[in-house]
Structure 1
Amino acid sequence: MQHFPEQSPELAPSLAGMRGFLLTRSASDRNNHIEIILWLRTPQGPVQLVIDNERAVFFVEVSDVNHANDILAKQSIKVDEIKPLTLKAFNQANVAAFYFLTLREFYQAREALKQKGVKCYEDDIRPDDRFLMERFITADMTFFGQQAPLISLHSKDYRRYEQARCKPIDKTLQTDIALSTVSLDIECSMSGELYSIGLYSDHCQQVLMIANEQEIAREQLKKGAVEIVWQANERQLLVSLLAWFSQYSPDIIIGWNVINFDFDLLQKRYDLHGIKFAIGRDGRTPYWRKNQASDQQFIEINGRVILDGIDLLKTATYNFPSFSLDNVANTLLGIGKKVDDVDNRLQEITDNFYHDKTALAAYNLEDCRLVVLIFKQTQLLEFAMLRAQLTGLSIDRFGGSVAAFTNLYLPKLHRSGYVAPNMGDGDQGFESPGGFVMDSTPGLYQNVLVLDFKSLYPSIIRSFNIDPMGLIEGLRSPETAIEGFDGAYFSREQHFLPGIITELWKERDIAKKDKNAALSQAIKIIMNSFYGVLGSTGCRFFDPRLSGSITKRSHSILKTTKLWIEAKGYQVIYGDTDSIFVHVGDDQSEDNSRALGKTLQEYINQKWQALLKDQFNIVSELEIEFETHFIKFLMPTIRGQDVGTKKRYAGLVQKGEEQQLIFKGLESVRTDWTELAKQFQRSLYWKIFNNEPVVEYVKKMVADTLAGKHDELLYYRKRLRRKLELYVKNVPPHVRAARLADEIYKQQGKPLKYQNKGWIEYVMTVNGPQAKGCQSAALDYQFYIDRQLLAVADAILPFINTSFDEITNNQMNLF
């Protein structure tokens, strides 16, 4: 039986065992006890581990134990054991553990005590998560257990180990467990009837396609390159898919919107035909959960994991104007989908199903292949595995910064004598500020250096020992602690977060040295998320004194660094969160500018080492780096004002033998501006940065626009973030265009396109906004001149003593 947390979390060092990578975990009641099931991939194949000696637990302050026990007794809720512990809450109250043999009793007790106002600590942690967490197990593990008889299911074997025991794998061992994957994509009608299912793996690339005998005979004459397995009807298609999974038994299923579309539709079709969707390795059906706030669905399949390419790209901090498969594939791979009209592909898919099934199969399998290529190009599977290995999050968990922090922090906290607080415990009634953004000095400059503090927030945490438990211990002995902000003090000895970040930092340095981009990115995201976690009210450790001691310290660091630089005689023209922009003079050469950047870097780092040692008696982990030399740099003004902008600038840098334009926050990198504005801005800025004449270029752009020579560049592209019917008070242009387009489709008897969110491309006409493909009025060229070309030009032209109106005034009178 578990006695939290005195029992050692690890197996005896002498215990030999197999090793595996964790795929899925679950906990459920079975025969009046909790059964934890772990599915692993091992070098020898899939394994199911059964742990049946764990109990669910939460903690109650000792002063509330008798009252809590009486409440549960009156409601006949059985507690297996109540045990006083040496642990205490952050308010220094001692706690006792309430143990339960079943999840049902655990949940009943939790709700009963909450209703009576009794505070329960850590009552939201499931036994399977706690089992792994308390043993410091993330994804890789060593296990030992009693092997049950070999289980054969649909011709695919896996091994089952009962009474299993686990421990974390030795990190010095090479992890070489490969996960088998399949990319899955379905094609269907508008109403959801299945046409085909594409499956693309290392061992099999084929399409399961519905067809009658005449269609099969016709298609076989075409001798297409894709392997098609013909199915008599939808029922046979569904049965064949289960047979495929039984035969090839992949660990990972990848796809594009694969959960909310493909698997959601598959589940509905299996239900419609009364077929058990037995896709789990043990022959069980999926378990579905839904986020009521976002309509996001989650699926759990025993022994298998689904990874959605869109969610995983977002978790890995990729950003695209559109996450459609066609756009991402074109952007990353330079490859598009095998369909002539992407915007009307549903109609083309249906036409191909009835008239050219070979073409549909090629399209279906190509979608699968594109997902595989995107995963390989971006190392998404490696990223997901490494993130799981670093944090203990499930491999299919996207987001999850709070959970990752909890996994890493909680077991260390327990071993130092504390239970974790509940959400709201640290709320002090005030908010911490965000990152510091200096007022900018607008202008067109030569030789601007960017000095960037390397991972500033994690560095502040390491330097000043900012830590949830460290705050509690520091407040107990403020005279020996490190002073923070808003009354915070941090213990010099008792803390964990600085050490966690230090270890991650070392791992990232190794990853960079080994050129392991996936690992480096995974660690960077985890480290940078810690501030966000501490500043999030959704985290149990939220306390504005923690986040405030990070952000307010960063403000102080940037302001002090600015003073040091200015004391050297250089002009600081801007600063943002962790970066400082320094104008070092128009007369500097490129070599001199770069040398000055290195000199300032060393000077500032030495100053911070000395200041933190002298003022706080701590070692500075702050490190500023000379990052960029802008040969030319524009800091624009706010449109219509003389005040400088924030988070918006442009510059010219030397990259090897070539010069490169960099835009931040300006039209060229924004998705809500037309291609006309973007191309105009890039060309205009290039000419000005290189001292080339611009008057004739501006005039020509205006004339060509008015003459209709740039019509293909005039489309706006915006997202419909709500259903059309929900736009009531504020109806922006893209919504008006969408409503008009769907009205036209309705009159033509075509499917409506824009009712349920999505993207729309539209132009501005003399009759207002009209969607691409539904334009009936002439383009409003003057609108584009005023709202696109003029807006772009007058951000930079005043700095060379002219303006858009001055250049075009005589020309415009001709039209």
Structure 2
Amino acid sequence: MTQIRGFVLTRHQQDQPDGIELRYWIKNQQDISLVSVTGQESVFFVHDAQLDCTRDRLKGLTGWRLEKVQLRDLEQQGVHALYCRSLKLQRDVIALLSAAAIPMMEEDIRPVDRFLMERFIFGGVEVTQSALSDGVVRSRFAPCEFPVTLKILSVDIETTMQADRIHSIGLYGADIALVLMRGEGVDSETLRFYPDERTLLQAFVRQVCRYDPDIFIGWNVVGFDFRVLAERADKLKVPLRLGRDDQSLRVVQSELGKWYVRLEGRLVIDGIDTLKGATFHFESYSLEYVSQSLFKRGKLIHQANDRGAEIQRLYREDKPALARYNLEDCKLVQDIFDETRLMEYLIERTRLTGLSLDKVGGSAAAFDFQYLPRLHRSGYVAPEFASGDRGIGAPGGYVMDSQPGLYQHVLVLDFKSLYPSIIRTFKIDPAGLAEGLKAAAREEDLIPGFSGAIFSKSKAILPTIIEELWVARDQAKRNSNKPLSQAIKIIMNAFYGVLGSNVCRFFDPRLAGSITLRGHQILQQTRDEIERTFGYRVIYGDTDSVFVLLGDECSDADLQGKALADYLNSWWSAQVEERFNTENYLELEYETHYSRFLMPRMRHSEKGSKKRYAGLQQRPDKEAKLVFKGLENVRSDWTPLARNIQQQLYEAVFRDQPYHDFLKQLVADLRQGKLDDQLVYRRRLRQPLADYLRMKPPHVQAAIKAEKFWQQQQLQSPYQPGQHVSYIMTVNGPEPIEQVRSPIDYEHYVEKQLEPVIDSILCFKEESLQSLIATQRDLFS
């Protein structure tokens, strides 16, 4: 008998003559082991009422079987399990039943995932292996805690402009810093040359095998680097054996255009997708922009639009310089992962959800992994996709009508994880809904929802999962484990999305509405209680926050904020106990104090805007910080001019500093061409340029003009979907920054950039930009 303890790094499944083989690569501190489970079947469910139809549709197929199980769907209908001896057979069965419109439940759950899921294995695993008398090895899997350390290799390639030949491959890790270069040159400690692309690729495979990484990382590493590596290896008939099973690399594209890597025993993780999944927000996710934002350090070639041409020049004239550039890109990616603790975040996410480390997104899959095993043990199977759609709309979060104005002393009170706490308090849960709607349900066990929903207090599953995560997050905060705390926050907040999205199996407007409409009620009642009991005015509220105006006569805002939160928490506990006879998990926190606060009007309207405000936030260290939400200062589609001026003007107004002369000088400098470096617009292309037929926004017009420039240079245009276009507004319309030929239209910037930003705050002082600069126009006409 042997025992393996470790972390499930990768999982795979394949057909074998005796059934489905499940393959798990398990990483321990010193080594990695492959554990195979053979002779398995896939399983999903069909309704008892569909048995005859199912058998009729599957006539002629062999290797499947139907078996009655003691489970029901959430509408209390009995089900049969349908087992298949191969993955191919399962695909054929699903296709036949889909064509006959026969409902199926859980048919999308992969056997390799279900095997772990049903055993509550979330990352850490203990495998006990014993040999049977016939020589077969039996493996028993059980969950365990396992602190894993993974070996990382950052990879980046440089290619021709058309990516039809690889110039170099950069490799960077804990004890490797090396560039493999095609061509002639003198080898060094960090640079080695190879005569052609074939030997370059072969050297890459050798280096990977020698270094033996668990994970490859990079920037767009799947969609570009590994895709190009696979294409060139295929073209040159070089087996790119990068997996631990000695099989060649496969890179495939989904129907939606997403690229995926197929490797055994190693993962490929993209920095862009991982940053977004961990809720990091950057104006641009280019490697240059992110690294500059984090370290004030970027690529060794700085000109974005000329970077491709410069790489080609370096390859021809200065290969060591190209190697330094290539290796620096690898280092930047590794440094970003280290600074943001992305790998720690992914490991913690796997320990919580069971998701593979390289899974992008995955909110629904994370929910399934935690929820389905408990659901089965409660006697239910998950519903078919979108079966809960009853034509009832599920409203979003509540946003109060704002009261526009320029205020003094505004407090923000925030409900801590409002939607998860609503789920816990009001027992919102798919299985709890099924139990609550039973005729035999006991009234004292029931709690009402919205849109006809009734929930069982005692049979709910999701509140228990949230409670476990909540406790884990509090512990993570006490231990200063930010990656774990962030992973738990993302998972808990995603649960509402799973219940409210019609692409998820548990979609039901009664569930989503019982969360959001309860949130509406909570925010409205909180506002009413504040105004009734304390006499303060609530000037705005958004989803889980209320903005309370204390006014000019404010002695100690922090003391008042904490007193408000304490009172409201006690009041809510009493309300929940009295009305629902259950424990309250709603928790209101005093979040911040704005000594000055602006709630702007909607443009061309007297009504207050929503999700847009600014304030001078008083910090615990007694410093004041200017905060913007939804305004031009935090929006990438406004020019640096508008964003910088908003920062300076709001700061002056909030601190009661003079600003008239500053604004007049600003407009004078603009019209004299002194601020030209701040006039660049930057917008992202959402689709290919050729697809913009009827409407051609300014950035598209600029990109079309730039196409001609790049063609004249005999270079590939950088303007592809997802890329940003930088342009200037001229008297002849938008022109790309690489080819500005016409005079700048300064009055456009006064009217379209400065006025909206400046007047949004000056209107509350009964002033406007035009009234301040009216006498200046003649000087520049």
Q: In the alignment, is the contact (CA less than 8 A) between 1:724 and 1:757 conserved in 2?
A: no
3-state DSSP class of the match of 1:682?
helix
Q: Which residue of 2 is the match for residue 370 of structure 1?
A: 332
How far apart, CA to CA, are the structure 2 residues paired with 1:162 and 1:670? 59
CA distance in 2, matches of 1:643, 1:528: 31
Matched residue, 1:3: none
Match of 1:576 among 538, 542, 546: 542
Query: Which residue does 1:618 correspond to in 2?
Result: 582
Kept in 2, the 8 Å contact 1:23–1:39? The answer is: yes
Cα deviation for residue 805 of structure 1 reads 1.6
Alignment of 1:77-476 (within 5 A): 77-79=62-64, 81-145=65-129, 162-169=137-144, 171=145, 175-192=146-163, 193-212=165-184, 216-217=185-186, 227-293=190-256, 295-476=257-438
Contact conserved, 1:52 with 1:163, CA < 8 A, in 2?
no
Give the drift of 1:314: 0.4
Does the alignment pair 1:562 with 2:527?
yes
* Deviation of 1:503 (Å): 0.5
- The 10-residue stretch of structure 1 (114-123 or 134-143) with the greater mean CA deviation from structure 2: 114-123
SS at match of 1:813: helix
- Report the AA paired with residue 508 of structure 1: R
Tell me which residue corresponds to 1:9.
none
The CA distance in 2 between the partners of 1:147 and 1:282, in whole Å, is: 23
* Aligned length, in residue pairs: 771
Distance (Å, rounded) in 2 between the aligned partners of 1:400 and 1:550 = 21
Report the Cα offset of residue 138 of structure 1: 1.5
Task: Flag the 1:700–1:147 CA change in 2: closer, same or farther, 3 A.
Answer: farther
Note the alpha carbon deviations across 1:351-402, whole angstroms, 9 max, x for none: 1111111101100000000000000000001111111111011110010100
Deviates more, 1:403-412 or 1:337-346: 337-346
Give the one of 24, 32, 35 matched to 1:49.
35
Distance, in Å, in 2 between the alignment partners of 1:19 and 1:613 is 46
SS of residue paired to 2:723: strand
Q: Provide the rounded CA distance (Å) in 2 between the counterparts of 1:613 and 1:434.
A: 26
User: Which whole-Å CA distance do the structure 2 matches of 1:563 and 1:755 have between them?
Assistant: 51
1:58·1:121 contact (CA, 8 Å) conserved in 2? yes
Q: Which amino acid aligns with 1:593?
A: A
Amino acid corresponding to residue 166 of structure 1 in structure 2: F
The residue that corresponds to 2:682 in the other structure is: 717
2:714 matched to 1:749? yes
Deviations 1:197-219 (A, max 9, x none): 0000112110001122xxx15xx
CA distance in 1, matches of 2:640, 2:50: 66
In structure 1, distance between residues paired with 2:462 and 2:547: 31
Q: Is the Cα–Cα contact under 8 Å of residues 50 and 163 in structure 1 kept in the other structure?
A: no
Partner Cα distance (1:616, 1:340) in 2: 62
Instruction: Look up the equivalent residue of 1:190 and give its one-letter code.
Output: M
Shift of residue 162, structure 1, vs aligned partner: 5.0
Tell me what 2:704 maps to. 739
SS of the residue 2:223 aligns to: helix
Partner SS for 1:760? strand
1:539 to 490, 504, 515: 504
- The 3-state SS of whatever aligns with 1:808 is helix
Q: Deviations over 1:152-184 (max 9, x none)?
A: xxxxxxxxx953221111x4xxx3321101000
Letter in 2 for 1:75: G
SS in 1 for 2:40: coil
Q: Is the 8 A contact 2:161 2:715 kept in 1?
A: no
Distance 2:8 2:234 in 1: 30
Distance 2:508 2:141 in 1: 35
**Paired letter, 1:199:** L
In structure 2, the partner of 1:151 is none
Structure 1 residues 54 and 445 mapped into 2: Cα distance closer, same or farther (>3 Å)? same
Cα 1:479–1:196 shift into 2, 3 Å: same
Match for residue 156 of structure 1? Answer: none
Q: Distance in 2 between matches of 1:724 and 1:541?
A: 39
Cα 1:703–1:408 shift into 2, 3 Å: same
Paired residue for 2:26, among 24, 32, 40? 40
CA distance in 2, matches of 1:756, 1:604: 49
- Provide the C-alpha distance between the structure 2 equivalents of 1:447 and 1:385, rounded to a whole number of angstroms: 43
CA contact (8 A) 1:258 1:308 kept: yes
Q: CA RMSD in A?
A: 1.6
Match of 1:767 among 716, 722, 732: 732
Indicate the SS of the match to 2:760: coil
Q: Does 1:523 align with 2:488?
A: yes
Deviation at 1:299, TM superposition (A): 1.2
What secondary structure, in the 3-state scheme, does the structure 2 residue paired with 1:794 have?
helix
- CA distance in 2 between partners of 1:284 and 1:494 (Å): 48
| Residue 206 to residue 553, structure 1, CA distance change in 2 (3 Å) | same
Whole-angstrom CA distance in 1 between matches of 2:352 and 2:277:
15
- Counterparts of 1:112 and 1:695, CA distance in 2: 74
Query: 2 CA distance for matches of 1:194 and 1:700?
Result: 53
Structure 2 Cα separation of the partners of residues 443 and 661 of structure 1: 17
Moved more, 610-619 or 801-810: 801-810
Report the 3-state secondary structure (helix = DSSP H, G, I; strand = E; otherwise coil) of the residue aligned with 1:661.
strand
Deviation at 1:147, TM superposition (A): 8.7
Report the TM-score when normalising by structure 2: 0.97
Who is 1:608 aligned against?
572
2:630 paired with 1:642: no
Task: Tell me the distance in 1 between the aligned counterparts of 2:713 and 2:335.
Answer: 39
1:204 alignment partner AA: I
For 1:114 and 1:747, how far apart are their aligned partners in 2? 53
Question: Within 2, Cα distance between the matches of 1:115 and 1:671?
Answer: 47
Shift in alpha-carbon separation, 1:198–1:464, aligned structure 2, 3 A: same
CA 1:757 to 1:84, structure 2 compared with 1: closer, same or farther past 3 Å? Answer: closer
* 8 A Cα contact 1:186 1:194, kept in partner: yes
Residues 147/516 of structure 1: CA separation in 2 closer, same or farther (3 Å cut): farther
Q: 1:494 aligns with which of 453, 456, 459?
A: 459
Structure 1 residue 89: deviation in Å? 1.4
Contact 2:153 2:217 in 1 (8 A): yes
Q: Which residue of structure 2 aligns with residue 71 of structure 1?
A: 57
Instruction: Tell me how far 1:419 sits from its aligned partner.
Output: 1.0
Mean Cα deviation higher: 93-102 or 530-539: 93-102
Q: 1:653 aligns with which of 617, 630, 633?
A: 617
Amino acid in the other structure paired with 2:308: L
2:307 counterpart letter in structure 1? R
Q: Is the 8 A contact 1:478 1:489 kept in 2?
A: no
- Please tell me the residue identity of whatever aligns with 2:343: L
Per-residue deviation, 1:290? 2.2
TM-score w.r.t. the length of structure 1 is: 0.93
Q: SS where residue 811 of structure 1 aligns?
A: helix
The CA distance in 2 between the partners of 1:163 and 1:229, in whole Å, is 47
